[in-house]
Amino acid sequence: MANNTKGRRDFIGMALGGFTALGGIGALYAAKRTWDPLPSVKAAGFTTLDLSNVPEGVLITEKWRGKPIFILRQTKDMMSKVSKKDMKRLIKIGDDHFMVAVGLCTHLGCIPGYRPETQDFLCACHGGMYNSTADVTKAPPPRGLDIPPFKIDGKKLVLGEQGPEYKKMLEDGTTLPV
Amino acid sequence: MAHFDENAKPFSHKWLNERLAIDTLQRVLSTEYWIPKNINFLWAMGMVLAATFGLLLISGIFLLMYYQPNVNTAFDSVNYTIMSEVGYGWLWRHIHGVGASVVFLIIYIHMFTGIYYGSYKRGRELIWLSGMLLFITFSAEAFSGYMLPWGQMSYWAGMVITNLFSGGSLHADGLVEWIRGDYVPGQAFLNRFFMLHVLLMPLIIIGLIVLHFGTLRIPHVNNQDGEDFDFEEAARLYKEGKIKESKVIPFKPVFLSKDVFVMGIYFIFFFYLVFYHFEFAMDPVNFDPANPLKTPTHIYPEWYFLWSYEILRPFPTDPGLVAFGFAQVIFLLLPFLDRSPNVAPASKRGLFKYWFWALLVDMIVLTFMGKLPPEGAWSVIGLIAALFFFALWIALPIITSKEKKL
Amino acid sequence: MKELKIFGIVVAFTLVLYWGVEPFAHSQMHKHVEGDNLQYSDLKPLKVKGDAKAGEAKAAACVGCHSIKVKNMPAPMDAMASSAAYGVNPPDLSLAGALLDEKFFAHFLMDPAGVTKSKHFAMPPSAFSEQDAADIVAYFKSIAPKEVTAKDAFTFACSRCHADRYDHMTQLGEEPKTKANIKTNVDLDKLDFEKNLGTYQNKLADYMGKLPPDLSIIIRARSEHFLHTFIENPQSQLPGTAMPRVGLNKEGMEKVMAYLEKTGDPSKPLREQTGPKVLLFFLVFTALAFLWKKSMWKGHH
């Protein structure tokens, strides 16, 4: 070691080191921003669904932000079995009720299969089950299928935008934000 | 036999010392790595190169996240996605482009410092050779990198340089097609040069840097007078506290502190270029997407290849290729062509002094002529400068064997 | 001091090297072309003053090929039909009065091919007198909107021949947002658009001799000076080129260049903002490094 600093703290060296570390933080910020999803990816996050011709009781699958979206127009039979709590999960357009949810199991992300004969969903990965409103009925999934942000526009649904009905679902805990 | 104290606390200094000899490493590589005191800022160019290589590596990593090595999407992945969509993507691109150009400026300064002070002789031949191998590898790295944006210059440089391998009258067209993986530079060519640029060349460079440091450790760094003094004696004086009388300083913290200061000045210059003055490193011609049906009006390599390019150009095909090949390897032979045992600055070495400045000026003239259109007066000057280059190297063994021993 | 001398030599050689390779070599490769400062000196100043009211009636003929959106007047044919008939889609005229030089515009109306200096020009020669032309110009000036965006200027002046893919602009307007069939991933709407665009571009390349280049990054591929003088008079930089002289006025030129800079160098504002901060950081770093160096070297000299 240079003996002129024997016994004395290298203050200026520490100052230089500290200042350099500040620059390093700046560089890390730029690096973090480089990892951010690109604007074009975020802009593609809106899809319009036309629900006017959806047949009842038939599962329709659409795509939003790369994820499958389940649409199930509830039949009269299904509606007779829907509990008061589960009513909050459905979207009412005119006289029709629709289940619209992200078709990825809330356990670990597989796509649950729809069983028309029992009007429910069974996830092949670990056996989780959901009813016709996509509320969970058998473990291991921790909650019902998540409902994407939506806005009602006449007979159309715009996914990606937050309408008042969606905001209400968030507030009363019907769904978590997706 | 290694001794392991079972009472030593895990990850304590003693514990690490028993397993990694960290104290010995510290002494050998930094606090008792003795550097002569009689040096100037040019001795910091090695660290400046390491720092620039680091910047190229880091900026390259971020570019690699978004670059697409596909002939249809490469250009836009750089000029649209990276330059306008990616957060600070433009910053990494500018750092990478400017860095690739400035690194060669520093390489040439570093190289000519070595030539001037005779740092390629008397035990330092392998430092010189490993350094020249680094120059060649950096050249391959720069060339392969330049292909990637797939602009007009990328495509036509790829076309022309791979054509060199046809060997003139040898007509080794099969070899050229094999290198390209296709009849012309296309997808196969782009992908394999992407592999070279991103993986193979950097691995070789890192290995050669380790070798370069290794070859430096035993002979020690040279000094401004080429003096061959007793490092052990000087080290002893220093450790006794006679730091003024001793001819050496420890790498850490004394030499390092000057290195860091030189790097600070360098970074001001470097980042000024990154933000305000970068066209020299990102030539406009490469902002036209590659067009296999149109060669640009003015085609030229990056500045650091121009002297070598100008040695190829003035001659007919076959002699030109021979001359070009000669120019690539001749610097490797420097330690063996210099017949004088003197290790001293060129200013003290008689005719070698003139040889040095003549070589430097000649290479600058070749660089200019390499950029200018090969017409009229420019091609005449280029031919003379190329012939002078050969004359200098042929003269070197003659003038150095006649050199008076200092 | 010796070290300063060595530093000076290194800097001197570097600057000489830079000078030869960059400014000097480029000046030899590209002879400097002096612009005309948008004076259009080759065209004689008009001897008459235009009357917008009179111009309105005379401009009725324009709608035979051109739309005038600001007056709710559509073009008789859509872009594809116009392309098939003329080789290119005639521009909408709403901004003509705002962005074209008056003198140029009047002379152009009297002799389209001659004034644009094109070998062939889709717009036919006219029988307009100087008074007719001046009246029509006055009319278009009176109907032009006051606020013109950079994108509008580009659309009017350039986009019927030049695309700008970085802003999703094609010769047929902005790229539409379409959705693929979820079962097959086939996006018929997109394929339809691309077929039309391809047909248009093929016709355009036949008409012009080659497809006019995409201008996304032209601001980096050519210098600002080149683009300025080229747009003002294409023949001055590329003799024999098929690109017609456009006749932009100062506002038109500024707005078009602003658009080109937006798509070609969008990071410029942030770059100019970040630069001083980074340089200041390294200035302070170097000052601290100098002080550290001095403290480490104390007693060594």
B287 vs C2, C221, C292: nearest CB: C221
B3 in a domain, yes or no?
Answer: no
Which domain CATH number covers B92?
1.20.810.10
d(CA B55, CA B74): 22
Q: Which of B299, B326, B355 is the last residue of a domain?
A: B299
B19 in a domain, yes or no?
Answer: no
d(CA A63, CA C226): 47
Tens-digit pLDDT profile for residues A115-158: 999 999 999 999 999 999 999 999 999 999 999 999 999 889 99
d(CA C31, CA C8): 33
B263 contact residues in C (CB cutoff 8 A): 289
Cβ of A30 within 8 Å of Cβ of B88? The answer is yes
Domain of residue B381, residue span: 306-406
C-beta neighbour count of A128 within 10 angstroms:
22
A3 contact residues in C (CB cutoff 8 A): 299
Tens-digit pLDDT profile for residues C39-67: 999 999 999 999 999 999 999 889 989 99
Cβ of C296 within 8 Å of Cβ of A5? The answer is yes
3-state secondary structure B81-105: HHHHHCCCHHHHHHHHHHHHHHHHH
- At B294, the amino acid letter reads K
Q: Which of B266, B299, B332 is the last residue of a domain?
A: B299
C-beta neighbour count of C37 within 10 angstroms:
10
B2 in a domain, yes or no?
Answer: no
* B351 and B390 together in one domain: yes
B70 in a domain, yes or no?
Answer: yes
C165 contact residues in A (CB cutoff 8 A): none
* B52 and B175 together in one domain: yes
Coil/strand/helix, residue B383: helix
Our CA dihedral for C122, C123, C125, C127, rounded to 10 degrees, sits at 160
B241 and chain A in contact, CB less than 8 A: yes
- Contact partners for chain B, using 3 or more CB pairs closer than 8 A, are A, C
* B140 and B69 together in one domain: yes
C-beta neighbour count of B243 within 10 angstroms:
22
B6 in a domain, yes or no?
Answer: no
Residue A148 preceded by cis peptide, ω within 30: no
* B111 and B223 together in one domain: yes
Q: Are strands A96-102 and A67-73 parallel, antiparallel or unpaired?
A: antiparallel
* B257 and B361 together in one domain: no
Chain A nearest CA to B83, separation (Å) = 11
C-beta neighbour count of C215 within 10 angstroms:
25
B353 contact residues in C (CB cutoff 8 A): none
Cβ of A39 within 8 Å of Cβ of B253? The answer is no
Q: What is the pTM of this model?
A: 0.91
A36 contact residues in B (CB cutoff 8 A): 87
B284 vs C13, C216, C221: nearest CB: C221
What CATH architecture is A43-171?
3-layer Sandwich (2.102)
Which of C21, C29, C30 is the best substitution to test chain B (most B C-beta atoms within 10 A)?
C21
Q: What is the full per-residue pLDDT of chain C (301 aa) written as tens digits?
A: 789 999 999 999 999 999 999 999 988 888 888 888 999 999 999 999 999 999 999 998 899 899 999 999 998 999 999 999 888 899 999 999 999 999 999 999 999 989 999 877 888 888 899 999 999 999 999 999 999 999 999 999 999 999 999 999 999 999 998 888 888 989 999 999 999 999 999 999 999 999 999 999 999 999 889 999 999 999 999 998 999 999 999 999 999 999 999 999 999 999 999 999 999 999 999 999 999 999 999 888 7
Total domain count for chain B? Answer: 2
B5 in a domain, yes or no?
Answer: no
* B143 and B261 together in one domain: yes
Domains of chain C: 44-268 (1.10.760.10)
B62 and chain A in contact, CB less than 8 A: yes
* B333 and B396 together in one domain: yes
Q: Which of B278, B299, B320 is the last residue of a domain?
A: B299
- At B235, the amino acid letter reads A
* B267 and B337 together in one domain: no
* B164 and B288 together in one domain: yes
B53 in a domain, yes or no?
Answer: yes
B88 vs A2, A34, A40: nearest CB: A34
Q: Are B312 and B120 in contact (CB under 8 A)?
A: no
Q: What is the full per-residue pLDDT of chain B (406 aa) written as tens digits?
A: 678 888 889 999 999 999 999 999 999 888 999 999 999 999 999 999 999 999 999 999 999 999 999 999 999 999 999 999 999 999 999 999 999 999 999 999 999 999 999 999 989 999 999 999 999 999 999 999 999 999 999 999 999 999 988 888 888 889 999 999 999 999 999 999 999 999 999 999 999 999 999 999 989 999 999 998 888 999 999 999 888 889 999 998 999 999 999 999 999 999 999 999 998 899 999 999 999 999 998 889 999 999 999 999 888 888 988 999 899 899 999 999 999 999 999 999 999 999 999 999 999 999 999 999 988 999 999 999 999 999 999 999 999 999 988 8
B260 contact residues in A (CB cutoff 8 A): 16
- C296 φ/ψ sector (left φ>0, alpha ψ -120 to 50, else beta): alpha
A23 vs C182, C285, C289: nearest CB: C285
C280 contact residues in B (CB cutoff 8 A): none
Domain range list for chain A? 3-36, 43-171
Query: Does the predicted interface ipTM exceed a cut of 0.85?
Result: yes
- Contact partners for chain C, using 3 or more CB pairs closer than 8 A, are A, B
